[in-house]
Chain A
Amino acid sequence: MTMNEKALILDKSGIDRALTRISHEILEKNRGAKSIALVGIQKGGVHLAGRLAAKIREIEGVDIPVGSLDITMYRDDLGTRKSQPVPKATDISFDVQDRVIVLVDDVLFTGRTIRAALNSIMDYGRPMRIQLAVLVDRGHRELPIRADFVGKNLPTSSKEKVKVLLAEDGEEEKVVILAE
């Protein structure tokens, strides 16, 4: 079963514009960059978190802490999968206590990854607030979870796949829908 590209949703400049807007929204909602930290969810969210931090530095002139989070050990489907996923690096080198943590992911779908990320981040301390930034919200939520900052709302069929390709992984930068 091969999936083919059905539609181009965002190109390179579209992704960049969305991230610029999200950066402004994060700063606006939190009234500046004080006490904010970005945490990218492995794997797609990590590069995006780095880019948002760079944009916030451009806008506000401050460096905010950036971390990465692997949620493998918190997944709710570990016992039912065919094989175990290999966990990637979690790197949270700052204190999450009393900070505003902005979780960053590429695609928001069922919400199960975010549920796992919420549990995981709580094991590092008690953040003041947790917010969620995603490049694409494709719907089909299975849990009561919503994003605070969305690059693109995208109605999809559950049979389709949404793929975010980034230059950091050596790809031509774009967001596409794949279908059979």
Chain B
Amino acid sequence: MSLSSKDLLGIKGMSPEEIRLVLDTAASFKDVSERDIKKVPALRGKTVINLFYEPSTRTRTSFELAGKRLSADVLNISTTTSSVVKGETLLDTARNIEAMKCDVLILRHPCSGAPAFLASRLKSSVINAGDGFHEHPTQALLDLFTIREKLGTIEGRTVAIVGDIAHSRVARSNIYGLTALGARVRVCGPATMIPYGIEQSGVEVFYDADRAVDGVDVIMTLRLQLERQAAGLFPGVREYARLYGLNRDRLSRAGKNAMVMHPGPMNRGVEISSDVADSSSVILDQVTNGVAVRMAIMFLLSGGAKAEAS
């Protein structure tokens, strides 16, 4: 069993078996980070490039550590200090990087579809580290891994995703992943932040957060992108916090041992209260698992013979 593509562009299009393969592989890679010598030679001699057109701490660091723990050589290119500011196009930048012989290109870009655009034009494996409003597949995989690790199974669980569903690539990837593995998904947010026709992807829509979290196994809170207020999508931060923020009181409506997740970075006191974030969440476990999942992805995509064939 192996992944059918040389790239990881999104969860949509991955079969449940492929998703499970990644999660199973990640379990072994998690051990590597627990040891004194946190390095295995699996990707020795491979070159991994982090190309980030948007700010990021967690994801970029996580990919960098994942690559280094696999013994790959990892380079970070941040667009503010690169030729991008001189007007070089995405494809030219990528082709120049590839001309220096890289094996894996990790791309974060504000435009949906940018990783797919490069993947079809490059021989290297392209990993989507978040593209526009489209997908953030490694985040969904690490969320799935964390749920499976804590609850044992994903099938049959009920997961509420609360926040700006329309502009969240994390939500989109998680909806694909969770429904593919048989979870029931609820999405909840102000009507301005629920995309039209979202029911067709097999989710239940709620506008009342108290009802949405009632009896669920997992609550995923999403970061409120504060710039959306200027766009008029919600009247005020305080009102949003009152109606959709996860606090102790709202959490008590969920299942007894409900898991609280957040992809980071958090707006404390807005979408999640500090006491919930600090005492009842698995947010830091998500971060730990992120490295293992990204190691698994790079490992699976670097199956040499397959990459050459495609």
A residues with a Cβ closer than 8 A to B are 70, 72-75, 78-84, 86-90, 119-120, 123-125
The answer to whether A123 and B25 touch across the interface, beta carbons within 8 angstroms, is no
| A93 → chain B closest CB, angstroms | 11
One digit per residue, 1 when the CB lies within 8 angstroms of any chain A CB and 0 when it does not, for chain B 9-45 equals 0000000000001001101110110011101111101
* Residues A86 and B304 in contact in the complex (CB < 8 Å), given A72-B28, A73-B40, A124-B35: no
* Residues A84 and B302 in contact in the complex (CB < 8 Å), given A73-B41, A123-B35, A124-B35: yes
| A119 → chain B closest CB, angstroms | 7
Q: Is B99 an interface residue (CB 8 A)?
A: no
When A and B form their complex, what is the total count of cross-chain residue pairs whose Cβ atoms lie within 8 Å?
Answer: 67
The answer to whether B37 and A84 touch across the interface, beta carbons within 8 angstroms, is no
In Å, the complex CA distance between A89 and B26 comes to 11
* Residues of B contacting A125 in the complex (Cβ-Cβ under 8 angstroms): 36
Q: Is B303 an interface residue (CB 8 A)?
A: yes
* Residues A78 and B42 in contact in the complex (CB < 8 Å), given A73-B32, A86-B1: yes
Q: A79-B305, A89-B28 are in contact. List 12 more A-B contacts (CB 8 A).
A: A70-B28, A73-B29, A78-B43, A80-B305, A83-B1, A83-B2, A84-B25, A84-B303, A86-B25, A87-B28, A88-B28, A120-B40
* Residues A90 and B31 in contact in the complex (CB < 8 Å), given A84-B2, A119-B41, A123-B40: yes
In Å, the complex CA distance between A90 and B29 comes to 10
Closest to A87 in B: B28
The answer to whether A86 and B31 touch across the interface, beta carbons within 8 angstroms, is no
* Residues of B contacting A123 in the complex (Cβ-Cβ under 8 angstroms): 35, 37, 39-40
Within 8 A of A (CB), among B32-66: 32, 35-37, 39-43, 45
Ranked 4 nearest A-B pairs via Cβ: A83-B2, A79-B304, A87-B28, A73-B40
Jot down 25 A-B pairs with beta carbons below 8 A, ordered by A: A70-B28, A73-B28, A73-B41, A75-B42, A78-B42, A78-B43, A78-B303, A79-B302, A80-B304, A82-B2, A82-B305, A83-B1, A83-B303, A84-B2, A84-B302, A86-B1, A86-B24, A86-B25, A89-B31, A90-B28, A90-B31, A120-B40, A124-B35, A124-B36, A125-B36
| B7 → chain A closest CB, angstroms | 15
| B69 → chain A closest CB, angstroms | 10
Choice from A70, A79, A84 contacting B300 with Cβ under 8 Å: A84
Choice from B21, B39, B302, B306 contacting A86 with Cβ under 8 Å: B21
The answer to whether B35 and A82 touch across the interface, beta carbons within 8 angstroms, is no
* Residues of B contacting A124 in the complex (Cβ-Cβ under 8 angstroms): 35-37
Q: Is B145 an interface residue (CB 8 A)?
A: no
Closest to B29 in A: A87
* Residues of A contacting B25 in the complex (Cβ-Cβ under 8 angstroms): 84, 86-87
In Å, the complex CA distance between A79 and B47 comes to 13
Q: Is B206 an interface residue (CB 8 A)?
A: no
* Residues of B contacting A79 in the complex (Cβ-Cβ under 8 angstroms): 45, 302, 304-305
